[in-house]
């Protein structure tokens, strides 16, 4: 199976999560509706009990008859244990169960899932002892392209124990570092503030300095990221100071005759807003399907050039700017610069998903 084909299939399972999650009331329903289709996309014969073994016995010490939901055998070797939970379950409450099973079998990988979130474990720290932290976590309802690449490694025809194990360490620690930086962008902890004070600002790490510099550190983080995103957008739009070159696909999306008649002028700020929304949605829909329409009152970002499929409306005026989401309450969110729209990525993605566009 080619990666493009796999990508489309795994995205279809992602859509099933959004469509079915509210109707799944128990573990069996979650297994049948979401978990088994997920492993079927990975290429496993879910109806072959010699390959995809349900209720696999994993005796733990004096406790006999302990069973893990699924065991996956590849080329005659037990490789993966899968512990399944109801989609409403918090997986933090269940990793110890998989930990016990892992140590009693020859499996190299363990997967804990509720049908939406998949946590992948192995034994990086102590051989034959499952790590307390997963090396990969994928949430299908918020699937990213780089995660599709990692899932593709677990496809039956691609599965290579050594290859996955060798990449798991880098993946685990890269993810942990990224999560740490993301947390520090929201709330700077004292230890990190002390480190920055001493190594960057050459200041004493007093409590007074920590309180003064913590907001500066947080602002610096966010500004650095915004500048990087802005640079990428500027490059994509081929903008220079005070001007913007609009890509052909954007120009074709607008109704030029209507614009001429109504004297509507599409500004660089509106094009930047359009590009940001397009960037936010790139992991969820082909970018060629994201269009814009401009009018006198507001700027529309829509799907398939269909006005009934608008996702975001952007409003600019002298006193303030804001976006309106196409949700039930038509929520409005204020911003200062178009780049700030990126801060509302989660809300924009959820609005798009709620439109149930195929």
d(C-alpha 87, C-alpha 23), whole Å: 10
CA separation for the pair 92, 332 (Å, rounded): 34
Tokens 């005070």 -> residue: 242
- Checking if the pLDDT of 257 tops 50, the result is no
Q: 123: which DSSP letter?
A: -
Specify the pLDDT at position 82.
Answer: 95
Provide the mean pLDDT of the chain: 84
CATH topology of domain 3-179: tt1808, chain A (3.90.1570)
- What does the pLDDT look like over 5-39, one tens digit per residue? 999 999 999 999 989 988 998 999 999 999 999 99
Give SS3 for 276: helix
Residue 260 has pLDDT above 70, yes or no: no
Name the pLDDT band for 244 (thresholds 50, 70, 90). Answer: very low
Task: Return the pLDDT at 102.
Answer: 84
What Å distances lie between residue 103 and 55, 82, 154, 358, CA to CA?
Answer: 17, 14, 21, 43
Q: How far apart are CA 139 and CA 117, in angstroms?
A: 4
| Confidence bin at 44 (pLDDT 50/70/90) | very high
Q: Which of 92-96, 238-242, 288-292, 345-349 has the lowest mean pLDDT?
A: 238-242
- The residue whose two tokens read 């038509």 is 330
pTM over 0.75: no
DSSP for 157-198 reads TT--HHHHHHHHHHHHHHHHHHHHHHHHHHS--HHHHHHHHH
DSSP string across 191-211: HHHHHHHHHTS-----HHHHH
Concatenate the DSSP letters of all residues of 298-356 into one string: -EEEEETT-GGGEEEEEEE-SS-EEEEESSTT--EEEESSGGGGGGGHHHHHHHHHHTT
Confidence band of 60 (pLDDT split at 50, 70, 90):
low
Q: Is 330 left (phi over 0), alpha (psi -120 to 50) or beta?
A: left
Residue 243's pLDDT is 41
Q: What gap in Å lies between CA 31 and CA 358, rounded to an integer?
A: 24
- The ranges assigned to domains in the chain are 3-179, 187-237, 248-354
Least confident among 98-107, 211-220, 242-251, 256-265: 242-251
Q: Which residues contact 202 (CB under 8 A, 6 or more apart)?
A: none
Q: What is the pLDDT of residue 230?
A: 66
Q: Which residue has the higher pLDDT, 95 or 145?
A: 145
When pLDDT is averaged across residues 299-320 and rounded to a whole number, the result is: 89
How confident is residue 45, by pLDDT bands cut at 50, 70 and 90? very high
Evaluate whether 168 touches 135 at the Cβ level (below 8 Å): yes
Distance, CA of 268 to CA of 276 (rounded, Å) = 12
Q: What's the whole-number mean pLDDT along residues 130-156?
A: 91
Q: Which residues pair with 291 in a beta bridge?
A: 302
- Strand partners for 67: 57
């Amino acid at each position: 199976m080619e990666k493009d084909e796999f990508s489309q299939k795994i995205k279809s399972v992602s859509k099933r999560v959004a469509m079915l999650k509210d109707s799944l009331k128990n573990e069996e329903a979650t297994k049948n509706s979401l978990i088994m289709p997920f492993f079927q996309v990975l290429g496993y014969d879910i109806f072959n009990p010699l390959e995809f073994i349900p209720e696999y016995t994993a005796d733990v010490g004096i406790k006999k008859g302990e069973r893990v939901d699924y065991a996956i055998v590849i080329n005659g070797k037990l490789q993966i244990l899968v512990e399944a939970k109801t989609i409403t379950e918090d997986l933090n409450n269940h990793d110890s169960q998989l930990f016990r099973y892992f140590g009693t079998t020859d499996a190299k990988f363990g997967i804990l899932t509720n049908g939406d979130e998949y946590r992948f474990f192995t034994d990086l720290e102590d051989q034959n002892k499952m790590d307390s932290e997963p090396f990969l976590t994928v949430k299908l309802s918020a699937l990213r392209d780089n995660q599709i690449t990692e899932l593709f490694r677990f496809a039956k025809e691609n599965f290579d124990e050594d290859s996955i194990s060798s990449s798991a360490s880098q993946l685990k620690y890269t993810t942990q570092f990224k999560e740490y930086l993301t947390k520090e962008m929201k709330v700077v902890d004292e230890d990190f503030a002390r480190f920055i004070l001493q190594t960057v600002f050459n200041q004493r790490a007093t409590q007074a300095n920590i309180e003064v510099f913590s907001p500066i550190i947080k602002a610096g983080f966010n500004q650095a990221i915004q500048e990087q995103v802005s640079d990428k957008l500027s490059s994509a739009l081929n903008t220079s100071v005070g001007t913007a070159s609009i890509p052909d696909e954007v120009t074709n999306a607008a109704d030029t005759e209507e614009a001429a008649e109504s004297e509507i002028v599409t500004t660089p700020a509106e094009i930047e807003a359009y590009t940001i929304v397009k960037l936010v949605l790139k992991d969820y829909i082909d970018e060629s399907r994201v269009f814009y329409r401009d009018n006198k009152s507001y700027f529309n970002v829509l799907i398939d050039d269909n006005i009934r499929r608008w996702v975001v409306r952007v409003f600019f005026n002298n006193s303030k700017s804001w976006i309106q989401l196409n949700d039930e309450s038509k929520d409005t969110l204020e911003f200062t610069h178009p780049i700030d729209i990126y801060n509302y990525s989660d809300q924009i993605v959820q609005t798009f998903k709620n439109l149930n566009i195929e």
